């Protein structure tokens, strides 16, 4: 969630932000559907650093360094901070104060005390690490049991919550577990399953864990949402503004019965997510600011040369989705007209500060003079892509007395809550 805790390479490219405060579930790449319910908890491999030039490594307990084949390479003494460096054909771990380095194609890092945590760039994590060279630099992978991974995800996504909101945290635990299980192997070609950022779900590690997050993960252990016996595409986001979006209007391949647009209003007509600080918002651009924004955003999104944005004559909403969100935005420039589809609208129409637009649920007020836009105002609601679980809506539903099963049923109609292991 964005203010109470903190958009996958693909979401960032499309401008699809999510999460109450920390992260979001991004559109999954095609991966093999996990087999039916298992008896063993899976191990998740999380990319903590990807393409980095280096990192720091340490722990409260001594750390064992081993090669990928298990060959002992040395130890990092307790409470010391060592440096990890990407080499042309491998990685190196060495003391920051100088001394011999351990070098290998891959280095596995394990705490000698199985209950101790490892630290990467000052952050603590459960489990073990794998240090390896990628195409552009260093990759640091955290190998951790799924339930331990969820402790750092649910806490980061939902932040600190009161007792009356705990059912929303439990709902997030089920959603995050479902997302992780569904997407195991998503980034296999890069050496891990999931990113630790909003590329997938925000994973804050052991240092980010909260009592609420731990309770929610433990209470719902092994529970996932399924459809036709398989884990669902468990999309989630921060704030819907009163109505969620149909999956296929945002994500290709999301034309499934459980990702349909729903009203997220209580019986008295109040939106459950009206408590969100992003429930309603307003952005304004001068003519010069709008032209600057489009010159910066259009090249990366639509491969439009900046020189083509010499004048912005009009900005029009050409089509909306059934839920009322912008499905097609038309930009009338000096010599041409460009159409921007819904998933890319937020990335193109960035704020004057350069941030992606909070949602596609907005209206426009356009003022022109001498054939050019002189002022543009967007008034909108919500934050994120709008598909699946509305995190602030879940909090509002919990406050209204709904349990996590009811919350999940509301946002993913027709799915089943299944104990997977």
HEC profile for 76-87? Answer: ECCCCCEEEEEE
Distances (CA, A) of 229 to 143, 232, 417: 27, 9, 10
Percent of the chain with pLDDT over 70: 91
Q: What is the mean pLDDT of residues 367-396?
A: 97
Q: Is the pTM of this model over 0.85?
A: yes
pLDDT in tens, 246-299: 999 999 889 999 999 999 999 999 999 999 999 999 999 999 999 999 999 999
Predicted pLDDT at 38: 67
Q: What is the mean pLDDT of residues 195-218?
A: 96
Where exactly are the structural domains of the chain?
1-53+137-279+383-421, 280-381
Question: Residue 366, Cβ neighbours under 10 Å: how many?
Answer: 16
Predicted pLDDT at 28: 47
pLDDT at 134 over 90: yes
Could you tell me the pLDDT band of residue 335, with boundaries at 50, 70 and 90?
A: confident
Mean pLDDT for the chain overall: 92
Predicted pLDDT at 16: 32
Cα dihedral 284, 287, 292, 298 in deg (nearest 10): 80
- State the Cα–Cα distance between residues 171 and 9, nearest whole angstrom: 26
Predicted pLDDT at 39: 66
- State the Cα–Cα distance between residues 147 and 224, nearest whole angstrom: 12
Question: Residue 357, Cβ neighbours under 10 Å: how many?
Answer: 22
Give 257's DSSP letter.
T
Q: What 3-state class would DSSP assign to 171?
A: helix
Report how many helices (DSSP H) and strands (DSSP E) the chain contains, helices first.
8, 24
Classify each residue of 134-152 as buried b or exposed e, where b means 16 or more C-beta atoms within 10 Å of its C-beta. beebbbbbbbbebbbbbbb
- State the Cα–Cα distance between residues 214 and 227, nearest whole angstrom: 26
pLDDT in tens, 148-196: 999 999 999 999 999 999 999 999 999 999 999 999 999 999 999 999 9
Beta strand 223-227 pairing with 230-231: antiparallel
- State the Cα–Cα distance between residues 212 and 159, nearest whole angstrom: 8
Whether residue 172 contacts residue 156, with contact meaning beta carbons closer than 8 Å, is answered with no
Predicted pLDDT at 98: 87
For residues 27 and 334, the model is more confident at: 334
pLDDT in tens, 53-89: 999 999 999 999 999 999 999 999 999 999 999 999 9
């Amino acid at each position: 969630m964005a203010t109470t805790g903190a958009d996958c390479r693909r979401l960032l490219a499309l401008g699809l932000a999510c999460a109450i405060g920390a992260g979001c579930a991004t559109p999954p790449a095609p991966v093999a559907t996990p087999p039916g319910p298992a008896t063993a908890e899976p191990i998740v491999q999380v990319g903590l650093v990807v393409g980095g030039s280096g990192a720091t490594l340490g722990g409260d307990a001594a750390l064992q360094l081993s090669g990928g084949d298990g060959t002992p390479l040395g130890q990092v003494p307790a409470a010391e901070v060592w440096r990890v460096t990407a080499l042309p054909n491998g990685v190196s771990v060495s003391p920051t104060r100088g001394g011999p380095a351990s070098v290998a194609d891959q280095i596995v890092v394990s705490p000698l005390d199985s209950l101790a945590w490892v630290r990467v760039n000052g952050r603590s994590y459960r489990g073990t690490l794998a240090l390896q060279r990628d195409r552009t630099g260093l990759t640091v992978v955290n190998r951790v049991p799924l339930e331990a991974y969820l402790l750092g995800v649910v806490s980061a996504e939902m932040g600190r919550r009161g007792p009356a909101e705990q059912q929303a945290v439990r709902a997030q635990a089920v959603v995050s577990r479902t997302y992780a299980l569904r997407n195991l192997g998503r980034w296999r070609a890069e050496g891990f399953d999931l990113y630790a950022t909003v590329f997938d779900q925000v994973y804050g590690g052991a240092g980010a864990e909260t009592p609420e997050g731990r309770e929610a993960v433990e209470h719902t252990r092994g529970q996932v949402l399924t459809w036709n016996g398989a884990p669902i595409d468990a999309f989630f986001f921060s704030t819907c503004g009163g109505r969620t979006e149909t999956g296929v209007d945002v994500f290709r391949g999301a034309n499934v019965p459980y990702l349909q647009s729903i009203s997220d209003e209580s019986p008295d007509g109040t939106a459950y997510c009206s408590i969100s600080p992003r429930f309603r918002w307003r952005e304004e651009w001068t003519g010069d600011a709008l032209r600057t924004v489009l010159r910066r955003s259009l090249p990366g999104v639509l491969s439009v040369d900046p020189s083509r944005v010499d004048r912005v004559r009009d900005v029009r909403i050409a089509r909306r989705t059934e839920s009322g969100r912008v499905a097609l935005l038309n930009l009338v420039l000096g010599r041409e007209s460009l159409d921007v589809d819904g998933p890319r609208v937020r990335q193109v129409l960035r704020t004057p500060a350069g941030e992606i637009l909070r949602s596609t649920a907005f209206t426009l007020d356009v003022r022109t003079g001498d054939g050019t836009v002189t002022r543009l105002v967007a008034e909108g609601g919500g934050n994120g892509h709008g598909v699946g679980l509305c995190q602030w809506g879940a909090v509002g539903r919990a406050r209204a007395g709904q349990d996590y099963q009811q919350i999940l049923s509301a946002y993913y109609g027709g799915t089943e809550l299944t104990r997977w292991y």
